[in-house]
Amino acid sequence: MKVAIVGFGKIARDQHVPAIANSGAFELAATASRHAHAEGLPAYPDIEALLAAEPDIAAIALCQPPQVRHAAARAAIAAGRHVFLEKPPGATLSEVVDLARAADDAGVTLFASWHSRFAAGVESARDWLAGRTIRSIRIDWKEDVRHWHPGQQWIWEPGGLGVFDPGINALSILTRLLRGPVRLEAATLEFPANRDAPIAATLAMRTTEGAPIAADFDWRQTGPQTWDIVVETDAGMLRLAEGGNRLFVDGVERPLPAEGEYPALYARFARLVADGRSDVDVAPLRLVADAFLAGRRTATAAFED
Ligand code: NAP
């Protein structure tokens, strides 16, 4: 199946292009981006031009910032194309619900992807936790924004999520590990004086059974970076490290499958299209929305790139 990428930025180049190239199911056929293109392929300035010129491209991967993704997704769905949404699936919950409905009505697949759910250790961790009683969960997601998001203005604007842009990856793993819904109780959000999105946040949540979940997201960490989830249970301690890609049980590392996150995402997208289904889980975005709804806001030092 031919696929086009819209928004040819960092994640499109780093992950989507190689994952599509190595996928047996997809062939990259074009891009739509204002300032960039893939060498040797048809390139369009925007999705409308792409959709009009390329009726044979059946699938569209949307890799722009979340603030502009809804309009593009609506256009692709209206043109009868299957849609792969980068995470987060939108800037608001209601626009994602709108897309899910539109895809259903049009009979096309909508895949709201959460790449961290496809990290190597997540399914093994979910299996290990089944049948155990969780006592507490601790999430530390701390990285250097200057290293990972240099010059990305959209990430600091309303709808860009700030530190929740990486933090939502932790929440996507959390909501996959647990079998019941997670409830947010309280949050604090630190906004730089000159920015519209938080640079740090803490979340207090609970599992369905009442076990506490504490999450600490921070974009000011220099030196070693931390993407860890630790689960204390009645029968041992589980630690997912490096964004879900390494798994330890009581301190002993477990061997994991080698498939990367994006190849697994494209394999999932291919299966959904073949089965005529969609996959739209808003649970991680709902927790972020709740943190913005219920969180206490504080001002912190201005941030310059
Ligand atoms: P990026 O490097 O800024 O690329 C996004 C591209 O979208 C831009 O290069 C730009 O290309 C296009 N675009 C269209 N409208 C835009 C607008 N109004 N403002 C800015 N750019 C616009 O961002 P990214 O890191 O690839 O992230 C894109 C999405 O992927 C985000 O939702 C992010 O959470 C997700 N993601 C990123 C990573 C990562 O490691 N970077 C990992 C996983 C997921 P043109 O100017 O050519 O149109």
pLDDT in tens, 197-208: 999 999 999 999
Distance from residue 6's CA to the centre of ligand 1 (Å): 9
Task: Determine the distance separating the centroid of ligand 1 and the alpha carbon of 10, expressed in angstroms.
Answer: 6
pLDDT exceeds cutoff 90 at 8: yes
**What's the average model confidence in pLDDT over 75-93?**
98
Average pLDDT over residues 274-285: 98
Give pLDDT tens digits for 143-171: 999 999 999 999 999 999 999 999 999 99
The CA-based angle 95-202-195, given to 5 degrees, is: 65
Residue to probe by mutation, ligand 1, list 8, 63, 117, most atoms within 8 Å of CB? 63
Give per-residue pLDDT as tens, 211-246: 999 999 999 999 999 999 999 999 999 999 999 999
| pLDDT exceeds cutoff 90 at 257 | no
Cβ 151 under 6 angstroms from ligand 1: no
Is the beta carbon of 17 within 6 A of some atom in ligand 1? no
pLDDT for 258: 85
11 touches ligand 1 (CB under 6 Å): yes
Against a cut of 0.85, is the pTM above it? yes
Equal fold, 2-112 vs 119-257+289-300: no
Residue 267: band (very low, low, confident or very high) from pLDDT cuts 50, 70, 90: very high
What's the CATH fold of domain 2-112? Answer: Rossmann fold (3.40.50)
Ligand 1 lined by 152 (C-beta under 6 Å): yes
From the CA of 303, how far away is ligand 1's center (Å)? 20
* Annotated catalytic residue 87: yes
- In the chain, the percentage of residues whose pLDDT exceeds 90 is 98
Q: How confident is residue 125, by pLDDT bands cut at 50, 70 and 90?
A: very high
Question: Domain segments of the chain: what residues?
Answer: 2-112, 119-257+289-300
Question: Which one is the CATH code of 119-257+289-300: 3.40.50.620, 2.60.40.1730, 3.30.360.10, 3.40.50.720?
Answer: 3.30.360.10
pLDDT score for 239: 98
Predicted pLDDT of residue 44: 98
